[in-house]
């Protein structure tokens, strides 16, 4: 949210489905997402530490299968997210490369190991 916190998780479905995420310190988040009639997506989530919020995605990178979006928590913290099977490929392709994004995605993927 402020660049120091990241969530690693998964979503399922083609038009709608659940989402799940955790932080390295063990905070667990659950929610749901759905695709809108215009092809964008909307998600809502609530976490075990009391954080909750909304996010939307409006961009889909076909080559890597990555969706990107933004959101806010109820307390006003900004969120950015990337979802897809080949997120790292997307980040390193330069499609939206910046140092903060590369570092965040790298830390998140490393936490899965």
Instruction: Give dist(CA 50, CA 38) in Å, integer.
Output: 31
The residue that leads in pLDDT, 7 or 48, is 48
Residue 54 confidence (pLDDT): 93
CA distance 67 to 42: 12
Residue 50 clears pLDDT 90, i.e. is over it: yes
Q: What is the pLDDT of residue 113?
A: 57
Q: Would you state the pLDDT for residue 31?
A: 93
3-state SS assignment for residue 106:
helix
Is the pTM higher than 0.75?
A: no
Phi-psi region of 73 (alpha: psi -120 to 50; beta: other; left: phi over 0): beta
Single out the residue of 44, 52, 50 nearest to residue 74, CA to CA: 52
Residue with token string 């660049």: 3
> How would residue 107 be classed by pLDDT, with cut points 50, 70 and 90?
low
45 or 12, which is more confident?
45
């Amino acid at each position: 949210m402020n660049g120091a916190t990241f969530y690693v998780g998964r979503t399922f479905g083609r038009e709608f489905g659940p989402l799940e995420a955790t932080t390295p310190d063990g905070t667990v988040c659950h929610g749901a997402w759905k695709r809108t009639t215009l092809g964008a997506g909307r998600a809502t989530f609530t976490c075990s530490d009391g954080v909750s919020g909304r996010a939307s995605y409006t961009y889909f990178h076909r080559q890597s299968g990555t969706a990107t979006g933004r959101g806010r928590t109820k307390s006003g913290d900004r969120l950015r997210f990337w979802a897809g099977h080949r997120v790292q490929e997307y980040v390193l392709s330069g499609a939206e490369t910046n140092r903060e994004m590369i570092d965040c995605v790298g830390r998140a993927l490393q936490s899965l190991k």
